[in-house]
Amino acid sequence: MFVVKIGGSILFDKEYQLKQKLLSNYAKTIRNIFSESKKKCAIVVGGGKLARKYIAVTRALGANEAYNDIMGIEAAKLNARLFIGALGDIAYPEPPNNLQEFHALFNVTDKIIICGGFQPGQSTNAVAASIAEIVTAEKLLNLTDVDGVYTADPDKDPNAKLMKELAISDLISLIAKQTTKAGQYPLFDKTAVQIVQRSKIVLQFINGSDPENLMKAITGKPIGTLITH
Ligand SMILES: Nc1ncnc2c1ncn2[C@@H]1O[C@H](COP(=O)(O)OP(=O)(O)OP(=O)(O)O)[C@@H](O)[C@H]1O
Ligand SMILES: [Mg+2]
């Protein structure tokens, strides 16, 4: 059982247009890996630029952070529906609203359940971590818009180096330096990392701009950053 977090970061181009071709390639890859090989998986999709855009407006109009997070949750659910639409009959038709709903569904359907956000105060990475925990996943794959975890944010520090492996304690220290607000839980949030640590979840960060990378990670090829316990 694999849990695949697809970062909303990879869904939109610079002009805020949806990458339709990438979605179509993902649908083919996911069908290949999970439908034909009978491996089971659950997918969590992030909010990406859609969430940031909506949150920027509600925040500017004076909404509180819990409400802004709800905007992000709904945006992530809309992004989840892109994958539900693309996967057709192999996907469960509705994104669950919370972990209990997910768990109940998981026990009665063989279809791929595709989630967006669950609750304010946490990111879709925390959704993915709690799903991985409740189903005792063999791996949690975090597909994002960079090659893995760097020594510093590669968008801000040109000297940042990609790390092939990283101890969970070092990931925690890295994240501790970040501040979070609705729509901005870069890389991985504190709630998510704590769940990964307490249940020793096998977590790997990979670049999701190419669906082939998902295939590589599933088949155990060394790629991205592996978090060790
Ligand atoms: N040490 C780090 N290593 C790698 N990336 C980092 C690091 N610190 C911060 N980041 C930032 O985290 C970003 C990825 O997180 P971001 O939340 O933007 O995307 P995502 O989680 O894939 O998408 P979404 O949140 O929409 O699901 C990278 O683009 C990078 O700029
Ligand atoms: Mg994120």
* pLDDT given for residue 176 in this prediction: 87
**Residue 146 pLDDT class (50, 70, 90 cuts):** very high
**Spatial distance between the Cα atoms of 147 and 225, rounded to a whole number of angstroms:** 8
CA distances, 13 to each of 10, 23, 50, 127 (Å): 8, 12, 11, 24
H/E stretch holding 3:
strand 2-6
* pLDDT given for residue 169 in this prediction: 97
pTM metric for this prediction: 0.96
- Residues 55-60, mean pLDDT to the nearest whole number: 98
Q: Map out the domains of the chain as residue ranges.
A: 2-228
Query: Strands 2-6 and 41-45: what pairing?
Result: parallel
Residue type (1 letter), 88: G
* pLDDT given for residue 34 in this prediction: 83
Residue 41 has pLDDT above 80, yes or no: yes
To test the ligand 1 pocket, which listed residue (6, 9, 172) has its Cβ within 8 A of the most ligand atoms? 9
Residue 85 has pLDDT above 80, yes or no: yes
To test the ligand 1 pocket, which listed residue (44, 82, 144, 209) has its Cβ within 8 A of the most ligand atoms? 144
Expressed in angstroms, the distance from the first to the final Cα of the chain is 19
Task: List the structure tokens of 42.
Answer: 């659950």
Spelled out in words, what is the top-level CATH class assigned to the domain 2-228?
alpha beta
**Residue 21 pLDDT class (50, 70, 90 cuts):** very high
- Residues 99-117, mean pLDDT to the nearest whole number: 97
pLDDT digits (tens, 9 = 90+) for 173-222: 999 887 778 777 778 999 999 999 999 999 999 999 999 999 999 988 99
Ligand 2 centroid to Cα of residue 122, in Å, is 10
* pLDDT given for residue 44 in this prediction: 98
Ligand 2 centroid to Cα of residue 186, in Å, is 5
Pocket-forming residues, ligand 1, beta carbon under 6 Å: 7-9, 46-48, 124, 144-146, 149-150, 152-155, 174, 186-187
Ligand 1 centroid to Cα of residue 189, in Å, is 10
H/E stretch holding 22:
helix 20-30
- Residues 63-68, mean pLDDT to the nearest whole number: 97
Phi-psi region of 153 (alpha: psi -120 to 50; beta: other; left: phi over 0): beta
Three-class SS string for 133-188? HHCCCCEEEEEECCCCCECCCCCCCCCCCECCEEEHHHHHHHHHCCCCECCECCCC
